[in-house]
Amino acid sequence: MTTQYSNLVNAESKSALVKSLQDWRSPVSDYSAETFVPLLNILDPKSNTLAYAQVLVDALGLAVSVNEFETLAEPLSRFATQIQLEQVESFPEILRRLTRALAQMAQLSENNAQACTVLVDMVGALNQQMALTRLPPMTIEDIIQHKQRLGVGSSHGVRLTPLHIECLRQCLLARRRWLYERVANEVVATRLDAIGRLDTQRLRPFLEYHHYAGMVCAGLGRMEQALQMWRMVFAVPTRFVSAIQIASFKRFTLAHAIVHGKRGTLPPMFVPAHVRSIESVAAAYVALADVCASRQLGAAVKTVRDMNSELVSDGNAGLAQRLLDELPAHCVRACADVYTRLPLKHLAQVVKFSDHPRGGAGDGADDVVDALGRYIQEMNDPCVVLEETDAGIMVVRFVDAQATVPPVQGATQSASIPGVPLETQWSVAIAARAQEANVLQKYLQELDHHLALTRDYVSRSRDV
Amino acid sequence: MSSNPTANMWNPLSRTFLLPGELTSQQPKLYSKPALASFDLREYLEGYKGMTKIRRAMYVGEHCTALAQDSYLIALDELESTTYNAKLHTEVSKRLEQFGVALPDRGEWKKDVEQRSQRENQELKKEIARTKAGNLISECQRAHVDLANLCAKIGSTEEAFRALQSAREFCGDANSHGELQVSTVRISQATFRWMQINTFAQRAISAMTTRHQQSDGTDVWIEGSVIQIQANFGDAKWQDAIKELNKLDIGEVAASEVFEVGNTTAKDFAIYATLSALMALGRKEVREKYINNFGYSKFFEAMPECLELLKRFYDSNYSDMLVLLDTVLSFCVLDPVIGPHVSQIKGRVIDNIVVIYATPYMAVSLERMAKDLHIQSADTLESIVVKLITSKRISARIDVVSGYLYKHKVDPRDATLKNIEKMYKSFDSQVDLVKAHIMFLEEESLRPTGSKA
């Protein structure tokens, strides 16, 4: 094509290629995206990853119509599966250019799903190659005896790249359940070993990655995983409170109330002054979680209604609605601590189900009771059983969630509740868990020790 | 229009001042005359002296219309005989006029007390100056205390506290410091500021390195402890009151002169001890610490109903006990210490009874329990039981369908496995967080200076 591209494709050495990319100026719009397709067909993405990537970036930059994007689809998917980590590492900036180009493509073509699919493939390929660079895991004895660094350094193992974050972002914009599942299983599930140097920034990508990962998990209803992702946003030290942390805190608070029925606490390593700042900014969310913890359905519904505008502007209306849906279940389960059996009508009065949208739809008390009965059936909780007495009264019976089954001589039947180990296994289960807990506790103590050593480095931490 | 915005506001607890934030225009709740057969207003107030007697009489007047006239007359008598407080005298006189009582003109008395108070004030100030100049420490302290007592008589409580504050620099030893604190406590007791009284009482006790008897025969430690118990009751801190009671040797308290001071009576102490026992103790403890404790005989003589309450409690005769309790509490509502908390106290006594009743049984009928405990209905009892189960005072579960309360036993193996699972999850989560934290810091430490985060 032009001399510029010729030099790119036929670079004499890696350093010459990198130099050429550093000084690269994208072509003016005299060309069209389709012009680059023959070049992309000739180039091998495996042996010439950087050149291929730059040509793709330029082509995507010039594409404006859906047809043009479609012509680039095949080269994109070829590149996505054949991207080479080793070559990318020599010029990490190419990842940022690719990310920008793909984001632009998604915006102009209004097809976030396509961009996300390409990104998932790219991230998957990179993750596989990065995983091969993982160092052997250190034992606790290594840590104790040799005082080795816990981190693997920034050049080994699976590391964050701009592609990871854009992948999650496009997934959230695409709003496709199959895409959420794919991203959750292939990207989020892959453990990060380091933040690394494949991105010039460090802190912000870490925060963004875990914030978006939490949103993907929450979208699939995997709340525990979402909680852990959002907790990770507060794992790294920051000099100031970040807007990402505030957004994560709001979602974390709602998700924790959904799962546990009460407010969660941030990791103890997070600066208390920052905790107070965040809590004062997100005071409405904190108040909502506290109302949920007090098991007052009416007050919770009112609070959600009052803060509706804030929820909508924060994009948390769905989570809040989910919280309202789950709250009666927490109230019902709380009754298990006090009652063994009570009439459904009585339970409806105790939890004040008529104050809830699910219970307030009908006109009479019977409607509220029937609505509660339907709700309990939907809960599908083996510890909350709906029965009818001989007199025809609907009664709720609470069964203790036994982790073990009492010993029965010579019995071989399986447990009635799934997941409950038999008598013969309970001691093994307890012993195994106790041992694992001991190992983790020891590891945690060593991590604390390392943290004390690394405090010297905190003074060198940069502003976000 | 008065320049003082609080001038026309009702003043709780008969104070002539309001605590910060305590602005209210609500009228106090009125009660009928106590149902206690042995109650006699004059006899009740006879045990108190000085400002305490006056304040208590005024409290009775504000809360019981039937006794108001008599109590204000008693307050007026005490004001004239033991104080120089003309302002309070005027206030009490105005209240009596509302009852149509024609009072003699006390202008002469007011003039006289004003002159006397000014004279005594000057004499004491001269004495303070003399002893200060002559470096006579203990006399100087005594003069300050006398000045404080004079200010209290006039009704200037804040001036009195200032005089006592100044006296601190003239404390020669720990004992004199303790005595000074006791003087502070005695003056403050009439204010009914319980947190402040408690603090002063604690200071009095902690100032003493050894047990010390004051010149008037009272033991500082015993007096401080008794006042602390009263202050804890005033502040509704029941557990603290019970702890303080448990520390005391009741025989020593009975033998001490603390009730001669006139701020607390043996009847008060009997009530505090009895209510504490009913709120917190089991039947066996009540028998050992109270019924069979000879040290309490003096106090039960002053208030025989207390012993009867404890005996009925021990005999598990709860319905009769609660009837008698209502009678005793009808008297307690006129007490400024316990009065504001009567319904809370009764609730706690009932809670304790429910716990004691339910504990021995594997299963007990709620209907039967409500009848035995003289509780309105099984529904009312259910709400009490729910509260006790939630606060873990009872380990039981309610079967509303059958109307029974069943003891709830937790399988220890089950509990162990659940705890282990919880611990494991917590460690697991923390490990990921701390690893990420360290990973970030280590990478930061290896990064060349000047590059952006």
Average pLDDT over residues A386-397: 90
Is B434 close to A395, i.e. CB distance below 8 A?
A: no
Go through chain A and tell me how many residues it has: 464
Confidence of residue A417 (pLDDT cuts 50, 70, 90): very low
Average pLDDT over residues A43-61: 88
Rounded CA-CA distance B206/B281 in Å is: 28
Is A236 close to B437, i.e. CB distance below 8 A?
A: yes
Q: Report yes or no: A449 at the B interface, CB cutoff 8 Å.
A: no
Is B421 close to A444, i.e. CB distance below 8 A?
A: no
213-232 of A, contacting B, C-beta below 8 A: 228, 231-232
Q: Where does residue A34 rank: exposed (0-12), middle (13-18), buried (19+ CB within 10 A)?
A: middle
Average pLDDT over residues B285-307: 91
Q: Which of B325, B252, B245 is nearest to B290 (CA)?
A: B245
Q: Please report the pLDDT score of residue B448 as a whole number.
A: 57
Rounded CA-CA distance B35/A85 in Å is: 92
Residue B17 scores a pLDDT above 60: no
Residues paired with residue A396 on neighbouring β-strands, in sequence order = A342, A386
Option in A200, A237, A454 nearest B445 (CB): A454
Average pLDDT over residues B331-358: 92
151-170 of A, contacting B, C-beta below 8 A: 151-154
> Do residues A266 and A238 touch, judged by C-beta distance below 8 A?
no
Q: Please report the pLDDT score of residue A401 as a whole number.
A: 72
Confidence of residue A324 (pLDDT cuts 50, 70, 90): very high
Q: Report yes or no: A150 at the B interface, CB cutoff 8 Å.
A: yes
Residue A55 scores a pLDDT above 60: yes
Average pLDDT over residues A234-256: 93
> Do residues B428 and A224 touch, judged by C-beta distance below 8 A?
no
- When scoring A457, A459, A460, A461 by the number of chain B Cβ atoms within 10 A, the one with the most, hence best to mutate, is A457
pLDDT greater at residue A438 or residue B299: B299
Confidence of residue A448 (pLDDT cuts 50, 70, 90): low
> Do residues B186 and B51 touch, judged by C-beta distance below 8 A?
no
A203 vs B contacts (CB less than 8 Å): 440, 453
Confidence of residue A113 (pLDDT cuts 50, 70, 90): very high
25-84 of A, contacting B, C-beta below 8 A: none
Q: Please report the pLDDT score of residue B27 as a whole number.
A: 66
Residue A12 scores a pLDDT above 80: no
Minimum distance, in Å, between the CA of residue B349 and any CA atom of chain A: 21
Mean pLDDT value across chain B: 84
Is B413 close to A454, i.e. CB distance below 8 A?
A: no
Q: Please report the pLDDT score of residue A139 as a whole number.
A: 63
Q: Where does residue A58 rank: exposed (0-12), middle (13-18), buried (19+ CB within 10 A)?
A: buried
HEC string of chain B? CCCCCCCCCCCHHHCCCCCCCCCCCCCCCCCCCCCCCCCCHHHHHHCCCHHHHHHHHHHHHHHCHHHHHHHHHHHHHHHHHHCCCHHHHHHHHHHHHCCCCCCCCCHHHHHHHHHHHHHHHHHHHHHHHHHHHCCCHHHHHHHHHHHHHHHHHHCCHHHHHHHHHHHHHHCCCHHHHHHHHHHHHHHHHCCCCHHHHHHHHHHHHHHCCCCCECCCCCEHHHHHHHHHHHHHHHCCCHHHHHHHHHHCCHHHHHHCCHHHCCCCCHHHHHHHHHHHHHHHCCHHHHHHHHHCCHHHHHHHHHCHHHHHHHHHHHCCCHHHHHHHHHHHHHHHCCCCCCHHHHHHHHHHHHHHHHHHHHCCCCEEEHHHHHHHCCCCCHHHHHHHHHHHHHCCCCCEEEECCCCEEEECCCCHHHHHHHHHHHHHHHHHHHHHHHHHHHHHHHHHHHCCCCCCC
Categorise residue A392: left if φ over 0, alpha if ψ from -120 to 50, beta otherwise.
left
> Do residues B411 and A406 touch, judged by C-beta distance below 8 A?
yes
CB count within 10 Å of CB A230 equals 28
> Do residues B58 and B14 touch, judged by C-beta distance below 8 A?
yes
Minimum distance, in Å, between the CA of residue B318 and any CA atom of chain A: 25
The CA–CA distances, whole Å, from A270 to A237, A241, A395, B205 equal: 7, 10, 47, 43
Q: Please report the pLDDT score of residue A426 as a whole number.
A: 61
Rounded CA-CA distance B412/A403 in Å is: 11
SS3 content of chain A, % helix, strand, coil (to 5): 65, 5, 35
Express each pLDDT in B366-422 by its tens digit. 998 888 888 888 888 999 999 999 999 999 999 999 999 999 988 887 787 778 778
pLDDT greater at residue A71 or residue A401: A71
Option in B400, B411, B449 nearest A339 (CB): B400
Residue B2 scores a pLDDT above 80: no
Q: Please report the pLDDT score of residue A420 as a whole number.
A: 47
Q: Percent of chain A at pLDDT above 70?
A: 82
Minimum distance, in Å, between the CA of residue B280 and any CA atom of chain A: 23
Minimum distance, in Å, between the CA of residue A307 and any CA atom of chain B: 31
Residue A405 scores a pLDDT above 60: no
Rounded CA-CA distance A101/A162 in Å is: 12
Alpha-carbon dihedral A236, A237, A240, A242, rounded to 10 degrees: 0
Average pLDDT over residues A374-395: 90
Highest mean pLDDT among A154-158, A360-364, A443-447, B327-331: B327-331
Confidence of residue B189 (pLDDT cuts 50, 70, 90): confident
Average pLDDT over residues A430-444: 68
Phi, psi dihedrals of residue B409, rounded to the nearest 5°: -110, 135
Express each pLDDT in A199-229 by its tens digit. 767 888 999 999 999 999 999 999 999 999 9
> Do residues A123 and A187 touch, judged by C-beta distance below 8 A?
yes
**0.90 surpassed by pTM:** no
Q: Please report the pLDDT score of residue B213 as a whole number.
A: 66
Rounded CA-CA distance A18/A239 in Å is: 35
pLDDT greater at residue B448 or residue B169: B169
Minimum distance, in Å, between the CA of residue A29 and any CA atom of chain B: 33
Average pLDDT over residues A335-358: 92
Rounded CA-CA distance A447/B373 in Å is: 58
Q: Please report the pLDDT score of residue A452 as a whole number.
A: 65
If you ran DSSP here, which 8-state letter would residue A192 be given? Answer: P
Option in A232, A406, A454 nearest B442 (CB): A454
Residue A150 scores a pLDDT above 80: no
- Kindly identify which residue of chain A lies nearest to residue B426, measuring between CA atoms: A437
Residue B18 scores a pLDDT above 70: no
Option in B430, B436, B449 nearest A444 (CB): B430
Q: Please report the pLDDT score of residue B441 as a whole number.
A: 74
Mean pLDDT value across chain A: 83
Confidence of residue A361 (pLDDT cuts 50, 70, 90): low
In this structure, of A138-152, B318-332, B368-382, the range with the lowest mean pLDDT score is A138-152
Q: Please report the pLDDT score of residue A218 as a whole number.
A: 95
Rounded CA-CA distance B10/B18 in Å is: 9
> Do residues B128 and B143 touch, judged by C-beta distance below 8 A?
yes
> Do residues A48 and A14 touch, judged by C-beta distance below 8 A?
no
CB count within 10 Å of CB B330 equals 17
Rounded CA-CA distance A27/B145 in Å is: 96
Is B452 close to A462, i.e. CB distance below 8 A?
A: yes
The ipTM of this complex is 0.81
Go through chain B and tell me how many residues it has: 453
Q: Please report the pLDDT score of residue A196 as a whole number.
A: 75
Minimum distance, in Å, between the CA of residue A373 and any CA atom of chain B: 17
A163: three-class secondary structure by DSSP:
helix
Q: Please report the pLDDT score of residue A415 as a whole number.
A: 43
- When scoring B432, B442, B446 by the number of chain A Cβ atoms within 10 A, the one with the most, hence best to mutate, is B442
Rounded CA-CA distance B81/B50 in Å is: 9
Is B401 close to A404, i.e. CB distance below 8 A?
A: no
Residue in the structure block whose two tokens are 């006899």: B43
Minimum distance, in Å, between the CA of residue B214 and any CA atom of chain A: 50
259-318 of A, contacting B, C-beta below 8 A: 267, 269
A196 vs B contacts (CB less than 8 Å): 443
- Spell out the residues 6+ positions from residue B3 whose beta carbon is closer than 8 angstroms to its own: none
Is A342 close to B421, i.e. CB distance below 8 A?
A: no
B432 vs A contacts (CB less than 8 Å): 228, 232, 235
Amino acid symbol at A209: Y
Express each pLDDT in B194-242 by its tens digit. 888 888 888 888 877 666 666 666 777 888 889 999 999 998 888 888 8
Option in A195, A339, A463 nearest B398 (CB): A339
Option in B398, B431, B444 nearest A447 (CB): B431
> Do residues B443 and A152 touch, judged by C-beta distance below 8 A?
no
Option in B414, B418, B437 nearest A235 (CB): B437
Q: Please report the pLDDT score of residue A403 as a whole number.
A: 58
Average pLDDT over residues B309-324: 92
Highest mean pLDDT among A55-69, B268-282, B373-387: B268-282
Q: Please report the pLDDT score of residue A70 as a whole number.
A: 86
pLDDT greater at residue B121 or residue A453: B121
Q: Please report the pLDDT score of residue A292 as a whole number.
A: 94
Q: Please report the pLDDT score of residue B171 as a whole number.
A: 80
Residues paired with residue B396 on neighbouring β-strands, in sequence order = B407
Q: Please report the pLDDT score of residue A402 as a whole number.
A: 66
Q: Please report the pLDDT score of residue B4 as a whole number.
A: 45
If you ran DSSP here, which 8-state letter would residue A252 be given? Answer: H
B379 vs A contacts (CB less than 8 Å): none
